[in-house]
Structure 1
Amino acid sequence: MRIGVLGAVELWGPDGSPMALGGSRPRALLAALALNVGRPVSVDQLVDAVYGTEPPGNAHHALQSQVSRIRPLLPEGSLARHPAGYVLSLDSDEVDAHRFERLATEGRQLLALGDHANARKALVEALELWRGPAPTVRLDDLRLSAIEDRIETDLALGQPDVAELRQLAAENPYRERLRGQLMRALAADGRQAEALASFDDARRTLADEFGADPSAELAEAHLAVLCGANPMRPVPAQLTSFVGRDKEIRQVSEALRAARLVTIIGPGGAGKTRLAIEFARRVAEVCFVELAELGDSAQVPQAVIGALGLRDGGLFGGGEAPDPVARLVAGLADRGILLVLDNCEHVIDGAARLVRRLLAACAGLRILATSREALGITGESLCPLPPLAGPDTIRLFEERAHAVRPGYRLDPETVGQVCAAVDGLPLGIELAAARLRSFELDEVQARLRKLSHGDRTAEPRHQTLRAVVAWSWDLLDDDERTMARRLSVFAGGATLSAAEEVCGRSADVLAGLVDKSLVEVNAGRYRMLETVRAFCADQLDDESDRARRQHAEHFLRLAEEAEPCLRTGEQLTWMARLTAEHANLMSALRWAVGADPEIALRLAANTTWYLYLRGLRSDGIALVTELMTLLGKEVPPGLDEEYLLCAVNVDVRVDRAAELLRRPGLQLRFPYLVMLWTMIGTAEEVTMEIFGDDLWSRAFLRTAEGLRTLYHGELAVSRSCFEQACALFRDVGDRWGIANTVDQLAGIAALEGDPAASLALIDEAIEVIGQLGDAEDAAELQCRRADNLVRLGEVAAARASYEQVAGLGLQPTTASAHRGLGEIARLAGDLATARELHERALAECQAGPIVAAEIRSRILCGLGAIAAAQGDADRAREHYERARDEALARQNLPMAAVAEQWLAGGALTWEQTLHRLRERFVSDW
């Protein structure tokens, strides 16, 4: 017996068949009793439920009549009279509403324990009980909460449904948890701009409807998006079921509880990657890193940076990009995350070096690696992957066979022989099952029996799998073999159009490879399993150079088409396209450096700004340095500016680059070259004539003038320049330019003593820079935002921002956050804590680029103020003078003026301070 009230009221008999309840009144009576199963319900309550506001004259008698109608339908004795009314005595699980509540509670408890897979299972089962509208407001709220819990498990498992979240947020605009989940899902999908737009919509809705600010939970989600806290590469989605390996899953789980590094080892095709994926889907915070596409060990740290969604530098600070390993240590130091490093055998030395460094420096980090060989690190726990167990091999074969040939009758004994012939290797089983599209089962078995009788002396399972792949290869027609060979040159997969162009074969041919399980397709990208890709690459032979040239030329065309668009309103769209092809771009550059320096030079130049905007300046640096060494001072014809940009980008051959820059008539196609040049020193050879008259170049020149006048203390002139530049950047649609200029305008407003205006401008800069995924600068902007909050007296909000940013591990932003917390302590009179925080901040912020130098000067001014408050005037003066001198060394007159005003005890006006500094220190600027 089951009763359903979650939708239309229904009654099902013991055999599951529906039972006729009659009209609306007996249904209403049954619903009222079922919702209170096991508890008496008063007659008055039941009358209200059945008749509403218009009960009949003899309501109690009428109710008895309705009770008599439903009693025969229920188990004998289950509906009884009670002194208080009537009571329905059934197992609560027989009523869908109560079963729903039990499962929803179980799901929420499992979610709290971090068991996301089982939590999702319980929550999905609970929500599937719903067939229509809720019978009560309370149950409707519980349903929404269960949906939110289920979405939380989706986020944790790396499989959120953005479309569903959009619809739910639109239908429930005041549910802030849903809003936050939508933001996190969009950010995890690399759509930071949409995530920020969603927050703005929520903020406006709450303000307009209730005059309220977003909750702390929603505000934290907003800050996390701005600071890039959740853009990690998710665990790859799988298109087929996972069969067996329960024992191995438990083994990995137990090993990771005892050790921080676990390596799944086994031959190609054993299912190492799939096992790692299935385990990782059970973990809350996990990042998946694919290493098979890398060309050498030196690229491993950068691959992990990219997968984590980190950047090796911000967009505002300039200067040299930090060491990638140091950047990883900073980003992972305080995070309890599982890092999955897949296919380590391709770059075993680099992977081992990085793992050793990260585990030593990041106490909460755990690493799950897959490799054909051990990493060889102390503390490594190995999980050798055996062949699938016999029953599991048969089940896997049957599932894959019925996918390609539905209804085909399989003989279990023959299937077992097929699976044994491929040594129980999952990839071999899948390839064999795919052959049933063209062969009968006994034909497949006979062929594999012959293959398994070959030379199996060294590594038998390698021999077997290669034989199975070779058989699959032999069954391809000429076009399919050509497509398979050439497709192997792609790193990280290919779009359909790219595969057709580079491989010179149609989509139908590619579809044939998908059908034969040699190529898999997911989200519009086609890629081979690594074992298959390696085999197909071996078949290239004399065709290798031609295929790789076509691959490089294709991605060069993409880079050259994208480059000017990265300075327009289409910036985010083109960055997303290039990001999707990042591995292919780097692979093409690697080939071209050794094979065609002209292609390499053009490709390196046209990806420079993309890498800068993505915060991946370190990626490709080694290759470009190698290229410039090979070229020497010889500039390929017509590629002067490409040579110039590459020389500046890696700080080599700059003397030769300076000669090129002085050539008459040169007009820059890469106008940001000047900014990159400035980062490595001076660019005295640059004249304004080399810039074009396009809007972006004009905006860039006004920005440069704004910076020059700002650092000379001419605030009014500087503001005008930045306002003009900002207007031009808005016309162009370049978010990098908008964020830079708005940030500078915010700084000027702060210097002029208008924290409210500065705060509004910083909020805009944070939103715009967040669209580019710039965690470093978004975090630094949050610190400057908090500085203004302190000046406005909103200390609690400022402290919360400082603390959040301090936990991100970004340098020198962490120093800025600790300085801010120290300033709050100083203003509260806690001088000991203030001094400790300022000294910690100073140690964290080494002298370096302009941004770091300014932070150091602010820290030193804070230490001076603390010393003065403690009565140590000499120590205070020493700190102020040091702050002033460090600012002057960076030609930052406004920051020097701040320190000078502290020195003067506030006795000088801003103009008097600037005049004194100009007279004493900067007459030669």
Structure 2
Amino acid sequence: MRFGILGPLEVRTDTGEVVAVGGPKPRALLTALLLDAGRVVTFDGGLNAVQARVSRVRRALPDGLIEFTGGGYRIAVDPDDVDAHRFDRLAREGRRLVAAGAHDAATTVLREALALWRGPALVDLPEAEAQVARLEETRLSAVEDLVEAELATTGTSVGRLRELVAAHPFRERLRGQLMRALHDDGRTAEALAQFEEVRRLLRDELGVDPSDELSAVHLALLRTGQPARRGLGTALTRIIGRDEELTRLAAPVRLATITGPGGIGKTRLAVEAAGRWARDVCFVDLSALVDGVQVPHAVLGALGVREPGFARADPVDRLLAELRDQDTVLLLDNCEQVLDAVADLVRRLLSACPRLSVLATSREPLGLTGEVLVPLEPLADAQAVALFAERAAAVRPGFTAGPEVAELCRLLDGLPLAIELAAVRLRQFDLPELVARLREQDHFRLLSRGDRTAAERHRTLRAVVAWSWHLLRPEEQQLARRFAVFAGGATEDAVAAVCGSDDALADLVDRSLVRVRAGRYRMLDTILLYCGEELVAAGEEAALRQAHARYFLDLVHRADPHLRRAEQLDWLAVLSAEHDNLVAALRWSARHDPPTALRLITGAAAYWWLSGRRDEVAEVAATLLDDVPEGFEEEYVSCVVHAGSRASDAQRARALDVLRSLDRPLRHPFGAAVWAMAHGPGPRLPVQLLHGDPWNAALERLGEALIELVDGHPAAGEKSLEDVLARFRRLGERWGTAQALDWLAFAAGRRGDWTRAHELWERALALLTELGARLELVDVLCRRAECLVRQGEWAAAEADYRRAAELSARPDAPPVDLGLAKLARLRGDLPEARRLVDRVRAALAAGDPIAVLLRTGIATESARLAPPEQALPRHREALDNPMAGGVADGLEGLAGAVDDGERAAFLLGTAVALRGAAVVGDPDVSRVVDRARDVIGPEAFAEAYARGAGQSREQALAVVEEELSAFRR
């Protein structure tokens, strides 16, 4: 809470709401407590009366704020939350800065301090005369300090000083300041007259002479020297990462304006560039000005123009007279809050002074003809890292930039000021902790300590952004805070739809708060955080988040049908540009509006899959599976698919029941139609679910073809896949086309047609790369790698597995690990093979649906790595697979574990009967064949193999059941 006692007692909540305290006595009690905030205060009077007043105050304030202790009462608030204490602190800080010569910073601090006064102090505590006198004296001293700072920078108002001197005629410091101000305004005679007046007053009223300090001011005026022109000074650090901009500003121009948001380094660049021009440069800081009328006076002050005789002249005329024939550069810093006045003055000066150049810094351009704009962007990654490393080394000697520095700089948007403020915090935090805190978006609290001598607006990150915020008009502030709901930027249409209007958008761009690239509007994350706080404070967040979620739900619904047609790349690009917004809308909806979240996951299912991002929504999808809302059956199934391993067996079973119960075509078929790809083969989807749409029909045909291919009918499956390929090609749909090409390649590779297989895989990979379907690329690369292993191209196979691992959303992708485990075993690296198989088995135990699909491979590979006495049971375990192709793989593994050569040949033939064809080139099968032939001879092997291969499907399954029975016993 915030408390005010510099004026009538005022209590406000953190959101600005006024809290009523009660009558005079409770107000007096609370004022007394606040005057000694944090300390125990005792009160005179009857105990019951004091307790009654305390009770009334407590009812108005949060619980526990007023404590009884040590015979008195204490209010448990930070003294800085009380305006009188905050004023004392700021007044002390301002005086220290004045003494240190940091006049710009002092001006800001002292103005903030004096602005806290709303009227006479402690009006609700009449008996506090001594405290009131102290506060008033401190206030007057702060006024004098402020005048001192203004005299050293922009100048001060003579009229205001005359009023102060009239009110306090014996204060010699004020009198001396008035004398200096008059002299600075070219009115030295009037200044000397002031000294004579105060000398007579002191003698007549007090019988004393003026102090040594005032006499020194008088003597200086008599000598009347010309004040020095304000130059650039010497930078304490080197500039980093602005080579391109410095090249643009290598030669002087008539007018150049460096633009960009606060903290981007405009002033530093301007000083560096002007310092290289080999011309007389006058630096003019306009940051403290609030009125355009002050601009020419500030320039005069910086130029050191104090000559007598101009008392009645227009300040602009005085500037023209001074600069008309001078070869000078005016560096006008921080023009944004008096932009119109600066633009008008610069136009007049440049028109009349042919040898004058102006270099300005501002959040927005001056808008003059011939103005050269130098917009500043955040530092590139390498430049930002270099800046942090240099500043960090100054704070922590020996500092070496590690990989975390690049992330830190990205979290800070590459803003130089933010990076420098972060480097300072290395005095307190190690680098990993600093990065962790920034990940939690603790930017403003963390970066709250900067250069004590810097202007207030540059001491903290919050102050940098607040400076720009307070210069905005109300309608611009409204749009800026509403823009904070967007993650990753927005189009103009999205801004208008979600924020209610985009009328002020161009103004925010001009003021460097919003950037636009290729029709897309963005805020730096730092500015976005500040605007987000303002959105919450305004009480608009819930409504804006709802509007944001609904807008992007509408967008994915409009995009969905296009993602299954030839135009899918265009619409994928649209949704990819909005990815951050989609995820933000989904996460907010999952917490506050689950129906919208269910629709978002389902409506964007094609996007999640085609772009390889389906794993990114798994965690959110899993939070929506507790129930099946009426009317959201299809959405529930889609969420189960996207939840992946996070969905329980019961939830998968419920989803399958829901699918069977649906009696209408799917509104968004992609989410439910990929059921088999996510959870393995099972009962076919009811025909009506995929009815009525060519893409649905092609997908249904793909499912049928795959079942034929892996369930013992490879020739029929391959023929069906050719039909699927033609269907998807007619639609121009790349994902389905790539699926058909991939499985046709799989079929060709299994029968040994290597050339055709790799041609088909290349085409499939090209289409999936074009789509950006990262996870599908993983699957295809793994299938191609399996084929390369059978070809004996082990190095190429490992390269495919390694690339698949890089593309995978998880470092322990089971298909990749299983393939690498086989390669390691074939090469003789059994420890590595066991490590990888154990990792896949752990995924299977955790319920990973992908690992379940690889059950046979896991069991077979485990068996080949097991001691001989454990191998046979594990090979029999591998037969537990719902697909004939998987059972055939298990039989081939089992054949390698039996001691009977004739039995091994028979099992290998039985695998062919189940699969419908032999797989060419499998090194493990080849070893079994060679060993069995050596034991029983080629003819006996051929006879046993043919006997197994000649079985009917039912006979082959009976053989499998016999082996499984032995395993179960």
TM-score between the two structures when normalised by the length of structure 2: 0.46
Pick 1 or 2: higher relative contact order, CA cutoff 8 A, min separation 6.
1
TM-score between the two structures when normalised by the length of structure 1: 0.48
- Which of the pair has more CA radius of gyration? 2
